[in-house]
Amino acid sequence: MRVRIRNGRVIDPARGVDEVRDLVIVDGRIDAFVGPDVMGDFDLDVDATGLVVTPGFVDLHCHLREPGFEDKETIATGSMAAAAGGFTTICCMPNTAPTLDRGVDIEFVQSAARRAGRARVLPLGSVTQGQLGRELSDMSEMAAAGAVGFSDDGHPVWDARLMRFALELSRRHGLPVVDHCEDPALAAGGVLNEGRVSDLLGLRGQPSSSEEVMVARDLNLARVTGGRLHLAHLSARGSVMLLRAARREGIAVTAEVTPHHLTLTEDWALGSMGGRAYDTRTKVAPPLRTEADRRALVEALAEGVIDVIATDHAPHRLIDKECTYDEAAFGISGFETALGSLMTLVASGELALIDMIRRLTVEPCKAFGLPYGTLAPGAVADVTVFDPETTWQVSSGRFFSKGKNTPLEGKSLRGTVRMTLVDGRVVYDAQADAQ
């Protein structure tokens, strides 16, 4: 099988490449002979004139809800939505029912993903059994089954002693422990950021310090254990300051930020939904914070203090959001708006295009030790082709995801995914798959 993607602007941050050229794929691998005007016969010949051609995006953090919550999302619908968003590899969190905490659970996700045949799905196992925070899961068994990391995401690992053991074990199996940094006592049932907007709405807020004290604890434990720590979805300026200092010190830590924390603030909660004075689609954990926090996150990303962009795609049913802010579920459906949201930062000059791509490709692969994220000759041919210019209006009814829960409904975004290939095979084609 020979594929040519012709005349696109090929951007491969792993090798510092940014130039118009043809990309040739032979039997699922990037061909060694990549250059302009490659000759020969092709089974598929794609004209990418005016389009950007990059390594497939890699998402270290999403929720696919299967097993247990198939009315919110399935592995098939989630991995299709990911492909439509330009993601070729996605790492899914274990907060399912049952929790992914044994080798067979990891194998279940892998085989369902193979059947779906869209984005490659790599599961994380839980840190504690049932994500209950009491006893460690059998990480070695899950590592042997192919888990790519461990997390109790949705909750922190609140017991510092267990977190210490988990980090110690991470040295043995070489896989990261991904923590959802939230001190439960400080978060105290808060439903959005503690500050002006929570005051205005009379809702209980979560202070930034609920994230920051957990980040501080985790960095300390990473220092003493030498374990592999990955900080999930950072939201607060204070967390960035702690992380910057830890990196200077040489602590083995990586960190991610979501498109929504990079582009939205607590003020978005004041939008209305269903006749109410607030928009429950903005309810997310950690909460959207202030403009000063948002700016600090963007700066940290530009500096490389935060190395990865991850979606935290968290699909929910309509009924989970058509209720009061207190009752609503935490989470934003993120796969299909990620590129469009991030391209608004590129358009405003806050983020360089090559850096956006770097944080969606080579850096997540480095953080989790994954063998993808580049278009180097011989590499696995995971490729994303997108149009950086066209604007479109978000209409969740057209999402492949079952999760229509986006605060961006009706908003205008820039940048559309045109084609996604995994192992040299087309898993999404905007023209053929449009709905």
Q: Active-site residues: which are they? A: 312
Interface positions, 296-355, toward ligand DOR (CB under 6 A): 312, 314, 330-331
In the complex with ligand DOR, which residue's Cβ is closer, 7 or 95? 95
Residues 6 or more apart whose Cβ sits within 8 Å of residue 142: 100, 101, 102, 103, 105, 106, 125, 150
Query: What CA–CA distance (Å, rounded) separates 294 from 94?
Result: 28
* The only residue of 149, 154, 334, 364 in contact with ligand DOR, by rule CB under 6 A: 154
- Closest CB 66 distance from ligand DOR, rounded Å: 13
C-alpha angle with apex 245: 239 to 246, nearest 5 degrees? Answer: 85
In the complex with ligand DOR, which residue's Cβ is closer, 180 or 414? 180
What does the per-residue mask of binding to ligand DOR show for 90-109, with x meaning CB under 6 A? -----x--------------
CA distances to 182, 237, 323 from 253, in Å: 17, 17, 38
* The only residue of 153, 179, 256, 293 in contact with ligand DOR, by rule CB under 6 A: 153
- Closest CB 215 distance from ligand DOR, rounded Å: 15
- Closest CB 189 distance from ligand DOR, rounded Å: 15
In the complex with ligand DOR, which residue's Cβ is closer, 4 or 281? 281
- What three-state secondary structure class fits 150? strand
Q: Which amino acid is located at 34 in the chain? A: V
* The only residue of 63, 281, 294, 404 in contact with ligand DOR, by rule CB under 6 A: 63
Interface positions, 156-215, toward ligand DOR (CB under 6 A): 180
- Closest CB 182 distance from ligand DOR, rounded Å: 8
Query: What CA–CA distance (Å, rounded) separates 367 from 308?
Result: 8
Interface positions, 373-412, toward ligand DOR (CB under 6 A): none
Q: Kindly report the number of other CB atoms within 10 A of residue 241's CB atom.
A: 15
- What three-state secondary structure class fits 217? helix
C-alpha angle with apex 114: 138 to 233, nearest 5 degrees? Answer: 60
Question: How far does CA 411 lie from the centroid of its chain?
Answer: 21
Residue whose structure tokens are 């399912």: 96
In the complex with ligand DOR, which residue's Cβ is closer, 123 or 424? 123
DSSP β-bridge partners for residue 122: 91
In the complex with ligand DOR, which residue's Cβ is closer, 331 or 415? 331
Beta strand 2-12 with 17-26 is antiparallel
- Closest CB 95 distance from ligand DOR, rounded Å: 5
Beta strand 253-257 with 383-393 is unpaired
Residue whose structure tokens are 């604007």: 391
How many residues form the binding site for ligand DOR (CB under 6 A)? 11
- Closest CB 225 distance from ligand DOR, rounded Å: 24
In the complex with ligand DOR, which residue's Cβ is closer, 82 or 285? 285
Interface positions, 247-286, toward ligand DOR (CB under 6 A): 284-285
Binding residues for ligand DOR, rule: CB under 6 A, are 63, 95, 153-154, 180, 284-285, 312, 314, 330-331
